[in-house]
Chains A and B, each alone.
Chain A
Amino acid sequence: MTKRYNWQLGREMEYPYDAPPPQRQVAYIFDTNKCIECQTCTVACKTCWTSGKGQETIFWNNVETKPYGGYPLQWDTKLLQITDPARWKGQRLETPTIFETDGEKHPPRGHRPVTEDYAAPNLGEDDITGTVDLGAHFGGVHPMWMFYLARICNHCDHPACLAACPRQAIYKRDEDGIVLVDQQRCRGYQECVKACPYKKTFFNLVSRVSEKCIGCFPRVEQGQVALCVESCIGKIRMHGFLSTREEPREDNPLDYIIKIKKLALPLYPQQGTGPNVYYIPPVHVPNGFLEQLFGPGVERSKQIYRALAKDKQLLGALLLFGATDRIITRFAVEKDEAVGWADNGEEVARVPFTEPVYIRNHYDEKHDVYRHNTT
Chain B
Amino acid sequence: MSRNTPTRRRFLFQMAGAGAGCALLANRAVGAADFLKPLRVDNPLYAYPNRDWEKVYRDLYHSDSSFVFLCAPNDTHNCLLRGHVKNGVVTRIAPTYGYHKATDLHGNRASRRWDPRCCQKGLALVRRFYGDRRCKRPLVRAGFKRWVEEGFPRHPETAAVDPKYLKRGDDDWVPVSWDEAFRLSAQALRNIAETYTGDQGQQRLRDQGYDPLMVEATGGAGTQVLKFRGGMPPLGMTRIFAQYRMANAMALLDDKIRGKGAEGSVGARGWDNYSWHTDLPPGHPMVTGQQTVDFDLCNVEHANLALVWGMNWITTKMPDSHWMTEARMKGTKIVVISAEYSATANKADEVVIVRPGTTPALALGIAQVMVKEKLYDADYVRGNTDLPLLVRLDNGQLLRAAEVFPGYRAATLSNNTVVLAGGDPGPAIHAQPGPVIPAAKREEWGDYVLWDRKRGGPAALNRDQIGAHFGKTGLDPQLTGDVQVRLAGGGTVACRTVFDATRQILDASYTPEQVEKITWAPASAVRSLARQIAANPEKTLFVMGMGPNQFFNSDLKDRAVFLIAAMTRNVGKIGGNVGSYAGNYRASFFNGLGQYLAENPFDVETDPAKPARSKGYWKAESVHYFNHGDTILRHGKAVLTGKSHIPTPTKAIHVSNSNSLIGNAKGHYDTIVNLFPKIEFIAINEWWWTASCEYSDVVFPVDSWAELKYPDMTISVTNPFLYVFPATPLPRIHDTRSDVEVAAGVCKAVGKLTGDRRHDDYWRFVEQGGMRPYIQRILDHSNATRGHTIEDLEAKAADGVPAILETRTYPKIGAWEQGNENKPWYTKTGRLEFYREEPEFMDSGENLVVHREPIDSTFYEPNVIVAPKNHPLLRPRQPEDYGIARGDVSGDARQARHVVLSVDELMKTRHPLNADGYRFIFHTPKYRHGAHTTAVDTDIVAIWFGPFGDIYREDKRMPFINEMYVDVNPADAKALGIEDGDYVWIDADPHDRPFKHWQKNPEWYKVARLMARARYYPGTPRGVTRMWHNMYGSTVGSVQGSETNPNGMAKSPRTAYQSLFRRGSHQSCTRGWLKPTWMTDSLTVKGLLGQKVTQGFVPDVHCPTGAPRESMVKLSLAEPGGVGDQRLWRPARLGLRPTYESDLLRRFIAGRFAETTS
Contact = CB atoms under 8 A, between A and B. Distances in A.
24 contacts: A19-B43, A20-B1, A36-B314, A73-B1136, A87-B1154, A116-B1130, A120-B947, A131-B1138, A132-B341, A137-B524, A137-B525, A140-B349, A166-B14, A167-B17, A184-B53, A284-B348, A319-B113, A323-B115, A351-B112, A356-B111, A357-B809, A360-B809, A370-B783, A373-B815
A115 B574 CA distance: 53
A50 B950 CA distance: 17
A77 B127 CA distance: 34
Interface string A34-56: 10111110111011110100001
B1136 A230 contact: no
Contacts of A134: 355, 520, 1021-1022
Contact of A142 (B95, B351, B525, B946): B351
Interface stretch (B326-334, B380-388, B839-847): B326-334
Contacts of B522: 135-137
Given A31-B325, A44-B92, A353-B330, 8 more contacts: A2-B7, A42-B120, A85-B1153, A131-B970, A217-B54, A287-B1151, A305-B329, A372-B1091
Interface in B796-832: 806-817, 826
Contacts of B341: 128, 132, 136, 144, 146
A218 B120 CA distance: 22
A240 B562 CA distance: 46
A344 interface: no
Contact of A230 (B95, B319, B810, B1018): B95
Contact of B61 (A20, A48, A140): A48
B309 to A, nearest CB: 14
A78 B928 CA distance: 29
Interface string B523-550: 0110010000000000000000000000
Contacts of B319: 233
Which A-B residue pairs are the 3 nearest by beta carbons?
Answer: A166-B17, A135-B520, A288-B1151
Contacts of A358: 104, 106, 108, 809-810
Contacts of B1148: 67, 77, 80, 289, 292
Nearest to B294: A373
Contacts of A171: 41, 44-45, 47-48
B36 interface: no
Contact of A168 (B18, B54, B97, B816): B18
A287 B290 CA distance: 49
Nearest to B970: A131
B947 A292 contact: no
B351 A138 contact: yes
Given A80-B1148, A166-B14, A356 B346 contact: no
Which label, helix, strand, loop or mixed, suits the secondary structure of the A interface?
loop
A232 interface: yes
A73 to B, nearest CB: 7
Nearest to A137: B525
Nearest to A370: B433
B11 A375 contact: no
Interface in A305-345: 305, 308-309, 315, 318-319, 322-325
A100 B850 CA distance: 68
| Interface size of B as a range | 35 or more
Contact of A322 (B322, B350, B815): B322
A48 B83 CA distance: 12
Given A36-B314, A56-B951, A355-B298, A233 B117 contact: yes
B10 A17 contact: yes
Contacts of B1021: 132-135
Contact of B1136 (A124, A172, A219, A364): A124
A360 B6 contact: no
Contacts of B112: 323-324, 349-351
B14 A168 contact: yes
Contact of A1 (B9, B123, B810, B1139): B9
B45 A374 contact: no
Interface string A283-302: 01011111110011000000
A190 interface: no
Given A230-B116, A351-B111, A166 B1153 contact: no
Contacts of A216: 61
B1118 interface: no
A48 B60 contact: yes
Contacts of B46: 17-20
Contact of A375 (B355, B524, B784): B784
A367 B1136 contact: no
Interface in B297-334: 298, 301-302, 314-315, 318-319, 321-322, 325-326, 328-331
B58 interface: yes
Interface stretch (B153-161, B220-228, B585-593, B757-765): B585-593
Contacts of B810: 356-358, 360
Contacts, number: 487
Contacts of A267: none
Among A16, A77, A233, A308, which residue has the most Cβ atoms of chain B within 10 A? A233
A231 B1136 contact: no
Interface string B944-967: 111111111010000000000000
Contacts of B1018: 127-132, 144
B437 interface: no
B247 interface: no
Contacts of A139: 348-351
A373 B11 contact: no
A351 B970 CA distance: 46
B944 A122 contact: yes
B198 interface: no
B787 A119 contact: no
A123 B945 CA distance: 9
Contacts of A250: none
B95 to A, nearest CB: 6
B60 A37 contact: no
B1136 A369 contact: no
Contacts of B329: 33, 305, 308-309, 315, 318
A266 interface: no
Given A168-B14, A184-B53, A358-B108, A47 B93 contact: yes
A155 interface: no
A235 interface: yes
Contacts of B434: 370
Contacts of A104: 11
Contacts of A291: 1151, 1154, 1156
B516 interface: yes
A17 B45 contact: yes
A204 B587 CA distance: 50
A352 interface: yes
A303 interface: no
Contacts of A44: 92, 94, 120, 123
A20 B318 contact: no
A288 B1150 contact: yes
Contacts of B589: 375
Contact of A119 (B94, B516, B521, B951): B951
A214 B57 contact: yes
Nearest to B292: A374
B944 A121 contact: yes
Contacts of B298: 355
Given A116-B1130, A217-B57, A233-B322, A367 B1158 contact: no
A180 interface: yes
B431 to A, nearest CB: 7
A204 to B, nearest CB: 13
Contacts of A217: 54, 57
B666 interface: no
B943 interface: yes
A62 to B, nearest CB: 9
A374 B814 contact: yes
Contacts of B113: 319, 323, 351-352, 355
A182 B119 contact: no
A289 B1152 CA distance: 8
